[in-house]
Amino acid sequence: MLKKMEEVLLVLLLPYYKGSTVVTQVQSDGNGDFQINVPPNGDYIIAISYA
């Protein structure tokens, strides 16, 4: 008997904004892990979406 195995990969897209300008965008790896370095001074918005 054969079993079909499916693996779901979650990829997160994480742009961060200063005002309405995208400063940078980070993408997670296949495990959903990511690292984002945000400057310590200022107000930023981090938007999370997935594909």
The model's pLDDT over 10-35, given as tens digits with 9 standing for 90+, comes to: 678 888 898 899 988 888 887 778 88
Residue 5 lies in a domain: no
Structural domain range at position 19: 12-50
- In terms of Cα–Cα distance, which of 27, 45, 44 is closest to 36? 27
Whether the pTM exceeds 0.75: the reply is no
Cα–Cα separations (whole angstroms), residue 1 to 4, 5, 6, 7, 16: 10, 13, 16, 19, 48
The pLDDT of residue 8 is: 54
d(CA 19, CA 11): 25
Instruction: Tell me how many domains the chain contains.
Output: 1
Residue 7 lies in a domain: no
